[in-house]
A and B are shown apart, each in its own frame.
Chain A
């Protein structure tokens, strides 16, 4: 679970509740209609949500629009969040990614995206917030784990997750059979899981 990942723990003072526990508590209060909690959740998560959406969509205005839809969905469906079924960050980020991918696939522009656009490094020049130490540690861990994948695995995972492409689209782009793509992604994700110490 996400809570067990070192990057999520409060390293400075183990006696204080971890960031994950705090977030879960806030989300549960949102689920009971608490608007102050929703405001707090927004302050905590908006840069992360918008960061991921922007990574996929690139366009700042469109990304904010999607982020707005995501927070309204969080508000509406938080009544059904159950901490026994997964962490709060998992819940929010999974919803965020799904919404961003839906938008990428729905927009005609994305359909016309050039193969090179998809394959080049998907970094984008945006007004990023100053990253906290905690965020930087997380990013560096992921970066290091990604570096241990084969180029083929990394490419397939990057195109899928940050590019929003389906298996068959990735297969077409890279001119390899779809079964090969599925295997590369699975092997790569299992490697990442092990490198990052994610276990249920």
Chain B
């Protein structure tokens, strides 16, 4: 039925956080283009907040506040730099407000970081689906740190399929992140795996998936040594101890 295909039909589900992961990137792309959809989603999100406020309040345990206050030092505030990377070429304050919200609401703050970087390095808009959990938060913090490092460097390569891969790294922090655009999606039993490669061989540095948009980013696990090459191979889901296929991306950090 046509309802399955019409992205405009997902406004309510989006406001409730119920859009399936597989459809999210496409819907957000549609949002970026249709201010009618955006206005509707804005109103339905405000409606959803009333559902949230209607839940019966619960008194926290006595220790919770002290525990949170005690952790503030370990959780530095993020820099407030602008995340409004999307041109608000829509008329009227309401539309502008609505469009502004899409791209800088807390839900997409991390995406905005990634996208700002991708814009910088690749000149295109990246839509990344990120599961918002501690891992994603950690990744975003690390990515922000790499980009903020005094010695941040970048190197880009073209992919066989037509996209690009960009390595962003800091020798000072011993860390790197890979931003890809136009990488093919894989069958569900496969994942892309990252490797740090030097004269001694390849060290596993994490796995990642690519959404339908073909764009994503990932901070590599482990430490990077000066001059390391970063490679990406296709591996069984969960990764392999050593590469089992030829790399689809190879970038040297020197």
Q: Does A67 contact B (CB under 8 A)?
A: yes
Q: Does B98 contact A (CB under 8 A)?
A: yes
Choice from B42, B48, B80, B94 contacting A97 with Cβ under 8 Å: B48
* List of A residues within 8 angstroms of B80 by Cβ: 31, 79-80
Check A193/B47 contact, CB under 8 A, given A42-B68, A91-B106, A97-B52.
yes
Q: Does B131 contact A (CB under 8 A)?
A: yes
Q: Does A150 contact B (CB under 8 A)?
A: no
Most buried by B among A5, A135, A165, A167: A167
Say whether B45 contacts A80, CB under 8 Å: no
* List of A residues within 8 angstroms of B52 by Cβ: 48, 52, 93-94, 96-97, 161
Within 8 A of B (CB), among A85-118: 85-87, 89-91, 93-99, 101-102, 106
Most buried by A among B4, B42, B47, B100: B47
Say whether B105 contacts A85, CB under 8 Å: yes
Q: Does B228 contact A (CB under 8 A)?
A: no
A59 to B20, CA, bound (A): 25
A108 to B71, CA, bound (A): 28
* List of A residues within 8 angstroms of B133 by Cβ: 102, 106
Say whether A198 contacts B43, CB under 8 Å: yes
Q: Does B50 contact A (CB under 8 A)?
A: yes
* List of A residues within 8 angstroms of B223 by Cβ: none
Say whether A200 contacts B107, CB under 8 Å: no
Instruction: Name A140's closest neighbour in chain B (CB-CB).
Output: B54
Q: How large is the interface on A (under 10, 10 to 19, 20 to 34, 35 or more residues)?
A: 35 or more
Q: Does A129 contact B (CB under 8 A)?
A: yes
Q: Does B10 contact A (CB under 8 A)?
A: yes
How many cross-chain pairs have Cβ atoms below 8 Å apart between A and B? Answer: 251
Say whether B107 contacts A98, CB under 8 Å: yes
Question: Least Cβ distance of A153 to chain B in Å?
Answer: 9
A72 to B68, CA, bound (A): 7
Question: Least Cβ distance of B225 to chain A in Å?
Answer: 30
Say whether A5 contacts B50, CB under 8 Å: yes
Check A138/B46 contact, CB under 8 A, given A50-B57, A51-B55, A160-B13.
no
Choice from B12, B49, B97 contacting A94 with Cβ under 8 Å: B49
Check A39/B69 contact, CB under 8 A, given A93-B52, A139-B54.
yes
Check A129/B58 contact, CB under 8 A, given A42-B65, A72-B71, A170-B18.
yes
* List of B residues within 8 angstroms of A84 by Cβ: 97, 100
* List of A residues within 8 angstroms of B55 by Cβ: 48, 51-52, 54-55, 162
- Using an 8 Å CB-CB cutoff, how does the interface string of A139-171 with B read, 1 for contact, 0 for none? 101110000000000000100111011111010
Q: Does A78 contact B (CB under 8 A)?
A: yes
Instruction: Name B63's closest neighbour in chain A (CB-CB).
Output: A64
* List of B residues within 8 angstroms of A121 by Cβ: none
Say whether A99 contacts B42, CB under 8 Å: no
- Using an 8 Å CB-CB cutoff, how does the interface string of B27-63 with A read, 1 for contact, 0 for none? 0000000000001101111111111111111111100
- Using an 8 Å CB-CB cutoff, how does the interface string of B90-113 with A read, 1 for contact, 0 for none? 000010011011001111010000
Q: Does A17 contact B (CB under 8 A)?
A: no
- Other than the known A33-B77, A52-B52, A200-B39, what 8 A-B pairs have Cβ atoms closer than 8 Å? A76-B77, A84-B100, A101-B17, A128-B56, A177-B1, A182-B12, A188-B12, A189-B15
Task: Pull 28 A–B residue pairs with CB atoms less than 8 Å apart, ordered by A.
Answer: A33-B77, A42-B65, A42-B68, A48-B57, A54-B55, A71-B68, A72-B72, A80-B83, A85-B104, A86-B105, A98-B106, A126-B56, A129-B59, A131-B56, A131-B57, A139-B53, A139-B56, A142-B53, A161-B16, A161-B52, A167-B18, A185-B12, A185-B18, A186-B11, A186-B13, A189-B47, A196-B47, A198-B47
The residues of B with any CB-CB pair to A shorter than 8 Å are 1-4, 9-13, 15-21, 23, 39-40, 42-61, 64-65, 67-69, 71-72, 75-80, 83, 94, 97-98, 100-101, 104-107, 109, 131-134, 137
